Amino acid sequence: MKTFYNPHHALHQGKLEMFRGQLVPCFEVPDRVDHVLAELQRRPIGPVLPPQTFDDHALTRIHSSRYLDFLRTAWDEWVALDAANAARDALPSVWPVRTLRSDVLPANFSARMGLFSMDAGTPLTSGTWAAARVGADCALSAAQAVVDGERAAFVLTRPPGHHAGADFFGGYCFLNNAALAAQHLRDHGFERVAVLDIDYHHGNGTQAIFYDRPDVYFTSIHGDPHTEYPFYLGYADELGAGAGLGANRNFPLPRGTGFAVWREALAQALQGIKAFGAQALVVSLGLDTFEGDPISGFTLRSADYLQVGADLAAAGLPTVLVYEGGYAVAEVGVNAVNVLQGFDSAAV
C-alpha cells in the first residue's frame, strides 16, 4: 500500500483553541502525523511518497471559489490588520446564524472569518493554507493511485478534512480531503463511490457536500450528536435529499460504546455500501474511537484496529484511506498502522 505523506503538515500548528468555554492548547498537533510516520517506518507496509501537484481546478470541484480565495489570503490579511497579529493565530468571533445573510461577502476581516467558519476551535495560522493545500494534493494523489490500479492508498496528512464544508472550515478542518478523493474517483471512471466515515465525530462537511447527489454514498459511525460534536448533523433520520435521497446513512452511537457494538454498526454500513453498488471506497479514518482519546467517548483498543482494517478490506473495493482525527497522540501511530496492516493482510 502506498502512503502519500504531507511533508509540510507542521506548517499548520495552532497555539490555542476554544474548548468548553476556555482557551486551551490545541489537541490537533503535528505529533499526530509524526507518530504515524514513525510507526510506518518501524512496520513498513509500502512506500511513503510525496504527493503529485494538482491544479486548483480539483479543489473547485468541492469548495466554492470565494472560500478558497479567502483561505489563500486570510493570514496576510490578518497580519495586515496589526503587525502584532503575526504572533497570534486567528479565531472567528461572529457568525451569520439564522435570519442573518451569508450571500454578501463583508469587507471586514472578522466578519469574513465568521462567514467561512463553524466554530472557535479551529485556529487559522501562518501555515494553514500551505499545509492544507499540500494535504489536498496527498488525497488527490492517493485517489489517482487507485485510478491507476492500486488496491488501496493511504493519505497521511493534517490538518484533517471531514468537518470542512464546501464553503466553511471547522473541527480542525479546512479542505475536505475525503470529498476531494471521492470526487477525483468519480471524475476518473468510477461511476458510484462510497465514503465511509469512522471518526468519532460525524463528518458533517462530507455529508453536506454530497447530500443531494445519487452518485456518492455517504455513511458514518460516530458519537451521538445529541451530546457530541458537531452536534447539528449526524442523526439517523438524515437520508439524503432530492436525487440523493437514500444515499446517506448515519449510525450515531452513545458515549461508552465498545468494539462489539461498534463493529456491528460497521457491518451494517458496509452492507449499505454494497447495496449501493459502490465501485470504489473512501474511508475517513479517524482514530479518536480509541479508549484513551481525550476528546472522544468510544472504547476501542489498539488490537481492535487490526480487525477494523480487515473488515474494510473485506468490502473488496479499491480504497483510499484518509487520516482524520485521533488525539491520544502516543498511541495514534500504532492504531493507524494496525488498520493499514489489517487491511493489507486481508486484501485480495
Active site residues: 163
Burial class (CB in 10 A: 0-12, 13-18, 19+), 348: exposed
- Give the DSSP letter of residue 86: G
Q: Mapped to the 3 state alphabet, what secondary structure does 225-274 carry?
A: CCCCCCCCCCCCCCCCCHHHCCCEEEEEECCCCCHHHHHHHHHHHHHHHH
Cell of 37: 510516520
Cβ atoms of 239 and 269 closer than 8 Å: no
Q: How many CB atoms lie within 10 A of CB 44?
A: 12
Query: Considering only CA atoms, which of 277, 320, 71 is closest in space to residue 180?
Result: 320
Q: How many CB atoms lie within 10 A of CB 294?
A: 10
**One-letter amino acid identity for 65?**
S
Alpha-helical segments (H) within the chain = 31-42, 57-60, 65-81, 109-115, 128-147, 177-187, 204-210, 259-276, 304-313, 329-346
Query: Considering only CA atoms, which of 62, 67, 66, 324 is closest in space to residue 210?
Result: 62
Cβ atoms of 234 and 208 closer than 8 Å: no
CA distance 172 to 103: 24
**One-letter amino acid identity for 177?**
N
